[in-house]
Chains A and B, each alone.
Chain A
Amino acid sequence: DGGITQSPKYLFRKEGQNVTLSCEQNLNHDAMYWYRQDPGQGLRLIYYSQIVNDFQKGDIAEGYSVSREKKESFPLTVTSAQKNPTAFYLCASRWGSSYNEQFFGPGTRLTVL
């Protein structure tokens, strides 16, 4: 049963703590993405990775970090440098060729107290 999983579904952290969000896919997709969604806004790109051991900053990378050590996994760390970390975080993946859609995970709701 192929798909993308994100864990946990809900996450609470104290201000000033780093937190890592998990994203795993078993679709054999090359590319993986992290987006952030805030109320009333579209999805904004945080980081993306086309292949293992390579990743690029998106539009709002400040205060975030990622790694891509395995094709299946693309964890996102929200650091204490991120000014407004409370948001809904979405992970996506796709095959590397041109005309393919992204498949999204169920999302993680992060609340910083």
Chain B
Amino acid sequence: DQQVKQNSPSLSVQEGRISILNCDYTNSMFDYFLWYKKYPAEGPTFLISISSIKDKNEDGRFTVFLNKSAKHLSLHIVPSQPGDSAVYFCAARDNYGQNFVFGPGTRLSVLP
């Protein structure tokens, strides 16, 4: 049973437009959420995170929104660039331990 879900396997957007990647979770004990970006045959790289006491965190073109009541978070990329084309993983950590649960990923394609 997946505790972290990314229901869109893929997403295509035009360069310059907004990309919105979604993530849902089921475990109410998760208190820290992260987004990672991954290119093929490479390790994921950290993008942005948010703790459960916040509802928004912004870093340059990347903004993460957290809706705790809906157990939903989203990553907004504005404006989208071709170099943003990659697989994006949502991850969550519970406040009992040090482990992270990853979603299956969403492949973003930014078209020139």
Contact = CB atoms under 8 A, between A and B. Distances in A.
Interface stretch (A14-22, A74-82, A102-110): A102-110
A42 B4 contact: yes
A65 interface: no
A34 to B, nearest CB: 12
B102 interface: yes
Interface in B10-27: none
Contact of A40 (B41, B44, B104): B104
A104 B44 contact: yes
B99 interface: yes
Interface size class of A (residues with CB under 8 A): 20 to 34
A27 interface: no
Helix, strand, loop or mixed for chain A's interface? Answer: strand
B42 A102 contact: no
B100 A102 contact: yes
19 contacts: A31-B98, A41-B104, A42-B6, A42-B89, A42-B104, A42-B105, A43-B89, A43-B102, A45-B99, A58-B99, A90-B43, A98-B32, A99-B49, A101-B34, A104-B36, A104-B44, A105-B43, A107-B41, A109-B41
Interface of B: 4, 6, 9, 32, 34, 36, 41-46, 49, 51, 89, 91, 98-100, 102-105
